[in-house]
Amino acid sequence: MPKRFVTIWFRYLKTDWFTLRRPTLASVPFVLASADHGRMVVTAANLLAQQKGVDIGMVIADARAIIPSLQVLDDKPELSNQLLKALAEWFIRFTPIVALDPPSGLILDVSGCTHLWGGEKQYLADIIARLKRSGYTARAAMADTIGASWAIARYGTDTLIIENGQQTIALLSLPPAALRLESEIVERLEKLGLRQLSQFIPMPRSALRRRFGEPLLKRLDQALGQEEEPLVPVQVPLPFQERLPCLEPIVTATGIEIALERLLDALCQRLKQEGKGIRTALLKCYRVDRKIEQVAIGTNRASNNTRHIFKLFEFKLPGIEPALGIELFILEAPKVEDVKAAQETLWENTGGLNDIGLAELLDRVAGKIGDNHIHRYLPDEHYWPERSCKPATDLQEKPASAWKTDRPRPLQLLTKPEPIEVTAPIPDYPPMLFRYKAKLHKIMKADGPERIEQEWWLQEGQHRDYYCVEDEEGHRYWLFRSGHYDATKSYQWFIHGFFA
């Protein structure tokens, strides 16, 4: 597929922006100005000011001598880049690869995109029409190279769409400045009478290099398609991404669901061919009013099951507000993983944590109540019970060590042990009574002690002597004494958990 590029030139970028915010400026000449060596200099001028002879670089005093009623506004230094970046993000609905061309342009790689609009002519016309409706004056051109489209957008007078392989002919009548050369090189070319590209393109390269240096040859080769010119897009397209432009804006929930199904079918088919599955996915909806609605889902294990992933999105689709309509849908999979076909044992009815049905059930539950309400824990290398487990990142994470099952542990473990009042007899005997949350419990049965030492690599706190106790109502608790039992009563009792 041949490469095709569109270059857009916003000749009045900043003044158009000011006019959009102050409509009264549309009918008066005005300029933007900033200080330069102690004097105010014009940095941007609207069309009315330029028609009367005021242009960029002119001192404000001279400009007012030409137009006494000229309005002067303070320029914003970073405004151009901010506007270009915002426009570039909006242009992602036309192509996934959009790059900035400061101070007043954008470059679009439109290879393989124009057929979605019915052809290059309709594609370019739609771009210009939308910018005009948005209040921006712009020229755009299309060619095989960035250099040729840039030159035609700014200096071309006839057609703005250059056919494949015709960029050399289209450039011949243009001035040297159309090659994006430094002003010094342009001045030297014009002093020598070389005022059109046709006058020096046929010249020997050695002569051009000797007189004007390598930059001239580089720009010339880029414009003619003899040297590649890299683009740095504002948003790097993900490897697994699907786009669906809409001929008419989508405003209904049914339309959004149909668009999502088509995107998922295409994306999951690609993933299946490469043996991969989605772990996280993001649906972006580009609205007519430039707003972007988006929803995201995640899975516990890699999945390329279209119906399952659609169900996860289905919970969140009602949160999408189409407003005046959605004109582009983009489905991205920022995180994908290999899908491994687990071997099933014939005599087992379940695959445990490897059961795909379990993973899909957890995905649906997380979609309804939030994934922060679902937790899986693995054993951790610590003595103290509150440190002996850690959250797992996913269903596939394997434990570094086995769960300790040689001693009884409570079903509910408190995050932090809570102090209690205890009546106990001689050392190493279990307590007879304890008070917890203002309620007195009489202990009928007890087992212990089980000593758990402090962790030497942390050196925090004293050792603990744990007891499993049962009160008169049959409720069972896990209590411990911190430190040694002595007459100074420097120890403290705590409750740490509850058995079923």
Bigger pLDDT: 352 or 92?
A: 92
**Residue 487: pLDDT over 80:** no
**Residue 455: pLDDT over 50:** yes
> Looking at residue 20, what is its pLDDT?
94
> Looking at residue 345, what is its pLDDT?
43
**Dist. CA 142–CA 230, nearest whole Å:** 17
> Looking at residue 489, what is its pLDDT?
61
Instruction: Please state, for a pLDDT cut of 90, what percent of the chain lies above it.
Output: 56
Contact assessment for residue 326 and residue 293, using Cβ atoms and an 8 Å cutoff: yes
> Looking at residue 159, what is its pLDDT?
80
> Looking at residue 393, what is its pLDDT?
74
> Looking at residue 235, what is its pLDDT?
86
Query: Comparing 183-192, 274-283, 389-398, 433-442, which segment has the lowest mean pLDDT?
Result: 389-398
> Looking at residue 403, what is its pLDDT?
78
Q: Kindly indicate the confidence band of residue 343, based on its pLDDT and cuts at 50, 70 and 90.
A: very low
Q: Kindly indicate the confidence band of residue 353, based on its pLDDT and cuts at 50, 70 and 90.
A: low
* pLDDT tens string 366-388: 767 676 667 777 888 777 888 78
**Residue 242: pLDDT over 70:** yes
**Dist. CA 377–CA 394, nearest whole Å:** 10
Q: Kindly indicate the confidence band of residue 444, based on its pLDDT and cuts at 50, 70 and 90.
A: very high
**Residue 265: pLDDT over 50:** yes
* pLDDT tens string 27-61: 999 999 999 888 999 999 999 999 999 999 999 99
How many C-beta atoms lie closer than 10 Å to residue 355's C-beta?
A: 17
Contact assessment for residue 405 and residue 379, using Cβ atoms and an 8 Å cutoff: no
Q: Which residue type sits at 50?
A: Q
**Both tokens assigned to 30:** 């005005």
**Both tokens assigned to 236:** 């790097």
Place of tokens 């693995």: 378
Contact assessment for residue 170 and residue 163, using Cβ atoms and an 8 Å cutoff: no
Contact assessment for residue 259 and residue 238, using Cβ atoms and an 8 Å cutoff: no
Domains of the chain: 1-28+69-237 (3.30.70.270), 241-338 (3.30.1490.100), 412-498 (no CATH)
Q: Is 93 helix (H, G, I), strand (E, B) or coil?
A: helix
Query: Comparing 153-157, 273-277, 350-354, 457-461, which segment has the lowest mean pLDDT?
Result: 350-354
**Average pLDDT of 444-453?**
88
**Residue 316: pLDDT over 80:** yes
**Dist. CA 476–CA 499, nearest whole Å:** 5
Which segments of 93-186 are extended strands (E)?
97-101, 105-109, 139-143
**Average pLDDT of 234-248?**
87
**Average pLDDT of 188-203?**
91
* pLDDT tens string 94-144: 998 999 999 999 999 999 888 888 899 999 999 999 999 999 999 999 999
Bigger pLDDT: 321 or 382?
A: 321
Bigger pLDDT: 366 or 496?
A: 496
Q: Kindly indicate the confidence band of residue 347, based on its pLDDT and cuts at 50, 70 and 90.
A: very low
The four Cα atoms 226, 106, 56, 170 give a dihedral, to 10 degrees, of 40
Query: Comparing 278-292, 389-403, 445-459, which segment has the lowest mean pLDDT?
Result: 389-403
**Residue 499: pLDDT over 70:** yes
